[in-house]
Amino acid sequence: MPHYDKSLVWFRRDLRCDDHAALHYALKESRLVFCAFIFDKQILDPLLACGTRADRRVDFIHASLQSLDDELKRRGGALIVRHADAVAVIPELAQELSIDAVFVNHDYEPQAITRDNTVEKHLKADGRAWHSYKDQVIFEKDEVLSLAGKPFSVFTPYKNTWLKKLQSTTGLFDLSCLAPHDTKTGQGKLASPAKLSPMPSLTAMGFETTNLSKLSITPGMQGAQALLDDFLPRMKNYRDARDFPAVKGPSYLSVHLRFGTISIRALAHHATQAIASGQGGDGAMTWLSELVWRDFYFMILYQHPHIVQRAFKPEYDRIQWESGPAADVAFTAWCEGRTGYPLVDAAMLQLNQTGYMHNRLRMVTASFLTKDLGIDWRRGEQYFALKLNDFDLAANNGGWQWAASSGCDAQPYFRIFNPVTQSEKFDAEGKFIRRYLPQLAKLDARRIHTPWLLLKQNG
């Protein structure tokens, strides 16, 4: 017999039907299961206050929800979508539908933890249960610890322990850790309210349709699967191709991982299968390592929430960053792609025009802002948070503190990415630079990296 009569699955950053922990357990434990998503005003209102109406992330979520709703309806349910304060509306919705329990997947960001604790408190005061599950990572919180039982702060030993945890006693990968959560067996339990209001439009919420289609970004589960299908044959070349921004090397799945339109278990499963079969080359292990980095940064954020405002290493909070009018001018030039260094400027223009930036270029631009211009990493972090389609607090903060040498397992403070040598090495022919700086298109592959030398020669 089901433990609950009626339950509610609250979707957040997990916008899919398959391999979904909260949905799996809700279907297992309930007679009827309703599904909901809240466009949380606590998150959206600050974007509108900044004048951000054309936000690709909101557009991506909205389109992904339509895809999710279609699939839920095909399975006999529907998605309830509200534009409200989530803390208030989830308890209200639970009362409206006579819900016995709310099922969610864990969120590790400090604000989200506070939100969830508040919602749980309200629900329990009304006699309703709250259940939260691991879903967006492979290993979380205290699951990967040192021999002393402490959280790691250095990646390599964390990764080694992570990999050992995934291996069976035979030394092979234990794929049971990556088994998908079954959401099809009980899909007949999915329910829809008697009166289902239409999903609020982007316009009604104060936002606008963006250029996702022009950028060939397909939201939803279908978009994620198409990218995965495209990447799997290329995975074996990932290690060699991933550092070159003009080459089709990455999977481009980061925005789908961010909003959960694909399961992290599915991706890790493909990587480990390729490694175990010997067909993945060095690329599969390198890609799996990137997924481990993702788990690592979530763990760091959970264990050290102070990093949201301060340096992981407290001594680095004593740095006197450049400030005042001159620093503001330099920061604006960096934001707008007007530093004069072609690779830095092309990367920033890519970010501004598309919401995407190649990972190698994230390191180059972050190093340039903090080490060359001497500007506080938090200013760059906030700019990326505003612009990146795949913005994720844990990874963004981790990357910026790594570049600034203030974070866990960060590069040494004396290591600086030379924007010229990086350009010559990773965009040798200048193909990426020409794409975003057409005014330099006529320069040859040698001069395009240092166009200011032409002015000296012609001076």
Decide if 293 is catalytic.
Answer: yes
**359 counts as catalytic:** yes
Whether the CB-CB separation of 147 and 153 falls below 8 Å is answered with no
Q: What is the CA radius of gyration of the chain?
A: 23
The closest alpha carbon to 346, from 195, 230, 245, 215, belongs to 245
Place of tokens 């505003």: 386
Strands 79-84 and 129-133: unpaired
Catalytic-role residue among 140, 290, 322, 424: 290
* Residue 211 appears among annotated catalytic residues: no
Residue 405, amino acid:
S
Helix axes 377-387, 359-367, angle to 10 degrees: 150
Tell me if residue 287 is catalytic. Answer: no
- Residue 144: exposed, middle, or buried by beta-carbon count in 10 A (0-12, 13-18, 19+)? buried
Phi, psi of 81 (to 5 degrees): -120, 125
CB 347 within 8 A of CB 435: no
Which of 10, 287, 400, 402 is labelled catalytic?
Answer: 400
Question: Catalytic one among 71, 377, 381, 397?
Answer: 377
- Exactly one of 140, 321, 418, 424 is catalytic; name it: 321
Among 10, 130, 287, 293, which one carries the catalytic annotation?
293
CA angle 198-200-205, nearest 5°? 170
**Mind giving me the DSSP string for 194-218?**
SS-PPPPPTTTTT----STTTTT--
**Alpha-carbon gap, residue 209 to 350, rounded angstroms:** 19
**Helix 220-231 vs helix 264-277: crossing angle, to nearest 10:** 20
Question: How many residues belong to the chain?
Answer: 459
Q: HSE on the CB side for 228, CA within 13 Å?
A: 20
8 A C-beta contact, residue 283 and residue 38? no
Active site residues: 290, 293, 321, 359, 377, 400
